Structure formats: structure tokens, C-alpha cells
Structure 1
């Protein structure tokens, strides 16, 4: 399989997952309830806690690098252009990606780096990180309104 084919497959998978993600008009959770998009996960994870995720993203775990050390503040300022912006990304997409990196089933690009970072994460930590990055204001661009 060529590098272009792998890239196109990865793009198709990302687009398919994004179609299943956020709602156009998110609703507020009732007081005392978990955030609505963090409470349901197509990744089969527990409800995520965005505040715990923020701490993990900024501090790392067990001496490992933090998410923001490569993806930048709020996941919106990667240190090199090949690292993606993850701030504002669909929480389910982040959760699925981290699970795949942890399980060694996601390949290509920076998979080796991410696999080593995701390996020690628990399901709860993945859910928390996904809830955090899914809830921050993102600087992602998509193909909407392009001529």
C-alpha cells in the first residue's frame, strides 16, 4: 500500500468518525450530571472528566511527556507541522485514537511516539483526556464553505 493510499484511508476514517461525533447544537447537562458528550462514548469508555483530562494533558503521567508538550496549549499549537491540532476535536475520535495507539493497532505517521504515550493510560484517563480536548475551543479547519 502506498503512502498516499494510507493517508487517504486515514482521512476517510477520520471523516467517518467525525460524522458520528458532536451534535450541531450541544445541549447543556443538568446540574450535577456529567457533560452530555463526555457521558456517552462510542469507544465504550466511562464518562470523562474534563478537569482531570486538563491536568493529565498538561502534566502527563508517570514521568511521561504531556499532551501539550507536542500538541501545544489546549492542543491548538503543535510544535511541528506534522503533529495534529487536537483541541476541539471530537471526543470520541480522540478516545478511539488513543485506544488504538495503546493497543498497537494504529499505524503510520507518529504512531510509535503516540503508542508509547498511550500505553500506560487507563480507560478512565483516555476518557478524561478526550473530554478535555473535545471541550476546548479548537482551531481545526474543515472543508465546509470552501469554493
Structure 2
């Protein structure tokens, strides 16, 4: 009984965050040029971001911004973006639906 109660309370606590809509970030434009507004890449070689884990995306964006990931295009695109802006971008892409796998011919 205790396990069921704990599980129910955990689920109830997480529901507001699951139901809360995520606002489109103001800084999405430049990211969307390559990665798509919904995280489905628009150009060859750019990775899909839709559905990636929030923590991974946030950390990767910080690493691009700070130069720990040495990709000049990404560093220029991120520029002097604040931590709050990076979190908004990471959250946006993490809640997008990933592209379904394509059948191989």
C-alpha cells in the first residue's frame, strides 16, 4: 500500500510540469534555421534535437557557447546567450516530438 501511495503522490506532483505548455523561445530563430523550429533538422548534417534530454541539450549549448565544444558555427550561433536563454532553448527542443524512425528500403 505504501508503494502505491508513494507512486500516486509522485505522479500527482509531476503532472503540473507535464501539462504546462512550453513557450516558444525568443532566440529560436537562428537555431531553427538548421535544426528546425520543432527540432527536426532542416539541412543535411545538422542533428535532430526534438525529444533530446533537457539536461543534455542545456549542457551541450553551454559547451558550445563557452568553447568547450569547438564548433565555430555553433559558437557563432550561440554567441553571448544567457543561461536563461539556453535553458529555454533546451526545454523547447526537449519537449518536441522526435521524428519517427524511417523504414529502410
Q: Which structure has the larger Rg over C-alpha atoms?
A: 2
Aligned to 1:56: 27
Alignment coverage as a number of residue pairs: 88
Task: Give the drift of 1:71.
Answer: 0.9
Aligned to 1:69: 33
Give the one of 32, 52, 55 matched to 1:89: 52
Gaps of 5+ in 1: 1-26, 37-48, 60-65, 142-147
* Whole-angstrom CA distance in 2 between matches of 1:140 and 1:127: 25
Q: What TM-score do you get using the length of structure 2 for normalisation?
A: 0.70
Q: Secondary structure at the match of 2:38?
A: helix
Q: Secondary structure at the match of 2:52?
A: coil
Task: Give the drift of 1:118.
Answer: 1.5
Counterparts of residues 1-147 of structure 1 (less than 5 Å): 29-31=14-16, 35=17, 50-53=22-25, 55-57=26-28, 59=29, 66-76=30-40, 78-107=41-70, 111-139=71-99
Q: Which aligned runs of 4 or more in structure 1 are off by greater than 4 angstroms?
A: none
Q: What TM-score do you get using the length of structure 1 for normalisation?
A: 0.52
| Pair 1:79–1:101, CA change in 2 (3 A) | same
Gaps of 5+ in 2: 1-10
How big is each residue's C-alpha offset from its partner over 1:68-111, in whole Å with a ceiling of 9 and x where there is no partner?
Answer: 111123011x232211000111111110111000100102xxx1
